[in-house]
Structure 1
Amino acid sequence: MSQPVPPPSSGNPFADGAYPQTPAPAGARDNVALGVAAAFATALVSAGIYGGIIGATEYQIGFAAVGVGYLIGLAAGKAGGGNPALPVVSAILSLGAVYLGQLLGLAIAVSDVLRLTVTELFFENFELLTTGWKEEAGPMSFLFLAIGAFAAFSAAKKSAA
């Protein structure tokens, strides 16, 4: 009886199947903590930008609130993956970011009138700032909060897919 002849070797043990294939390392996807951290950092940055836009124009711009929410959701979904908690966390962070942006915009707008710096308003007279926001807040302020939260929720779900 003759023994079967093995196929010719290419000289590469990995290509010849002599060593088992190892699975690719798990990426950062599906890392909830990373998704929340990315969303939180994005919320802080986008709140600052949104506040700057409001302060410079002295108007609330709906597209900017959508942008805030979208960026937060996108960061959470891309960094954290498809965990179902991330869209909810993104929406909550978006509410906070749009609110902080509105406060910052108000602080920028009234800082000259009150002869205080923006940082003094935020850190030493925050109650004055929130009282002013409550007096100025109308249906549009709350609409922008809701729009930002919806955009964040939607973006987190879509970017994780």
Structure 2
Amino acid sequence: MSQSATPPQPQPQPEVQAQPETEAQAQAQPQQPAPPQPQPVDGNPYAQQPGAVPPPPPAPYAPPAPPRNNIALGLVTAVVAALVAAGIYGVVIGTTKHEIGWAAVGVGFVIGLAAGRLGGRNPALPVVSAVLALGAVYLGQLVGEAMIGADELGVNFSKVFFDHFDVVQDAWKADADPITFLFFAIAAFAAFSGAKKAAL
């Protein structure tokens, strides 16, 4: 009679006591990655990182300025400036009863500045500015003569200037001297150079 073999019984394993992890074992274990930081809506990846310097904002787009070369606008502006400057120059002469050199320079410079600033780099504008400066100085001196004559006669300025313009011109010719014509040259030069500089 054969004996039946009993299957081997598993032998109990000795219990392994859990030992505390040493620092070396803890460092050897792979660390879990940090959860991803949420990205901002505006697409700036540096906004959520501490200590990161954000890039400078982009410069706003400005279309390039068109080149200034509007001779008509420059001429109209220069004529208006010449009339206004002539009136002011005439009032200065009529009030002080003297021709003043810096006032003639101012007349020329204002005309040249107006023409060059609004007319641009057209080469005709400095020449036209110089011619207008000559006319403005002459007109201003006539206004000054008329103011002086009206004051001496005790009449209205407009009556002397408009009704007796030939007398005003004769009085200007009698009072003209080399300094008078020097003021013409100074004003023309100031207008020419002012138009050149203002167009740059």
Give the TM-score normalised by structure 2.
Answer: 0.67
Q: 1:129 aligns with which of 162, 168, 171?
A: 168
Q: Counterpart of 2:81?
A: 42
Alignment of 1:139-158 (within 5 A): 139-158=178-197
Deviation at 1:116, TM superposition (A): 2.9
Corresponding position: 1:59 with 2:98 = yes
Poorly superposed stretches of 4+, deviation over 4 Å: none
Aligned residue pairs total 140
Q: Secondary structure at the match of 2:138?
A: helix
Amino acid at match of 1:84: P
Residues 160, 25 of structure 1: alpha-carbon distance in 2 compared, 3 angstrom cutoff: closer
Q: Counterpart of 1:107?
A: 146
Higher Rg: 2
Q: Secondary structure at the match of 1:49?
A: helix
Q: Any unmatched runs of 5+ in structure 2?
A: 1-41, 43-62
Q: Any unmatched runs of 5+ in structure 1?
A: 1-9, 11-22
Q: Counterpart of 2:71?
A: 32
Q: Counterpart of 2:54?
A: none
Deviation at 1:110, TM superposition (A): 1.4
Kindly provide the CA deviation profile for residues 4-33 of structure 1, in whole angstroms up to 9, marking residues without a partner as x: xxxxxx9xxxxxxxxxxxx75746x21000
Amino acid at match of 1:121: V
Q: 2:157 aligns with which of 118, 136, 142?
A: 118
Q: Secondary structure at the match of 1:151?
A: helix
Q: Counterpart of 2:135?
A: 96
Q: Counterpart of 2:111?
A: 72
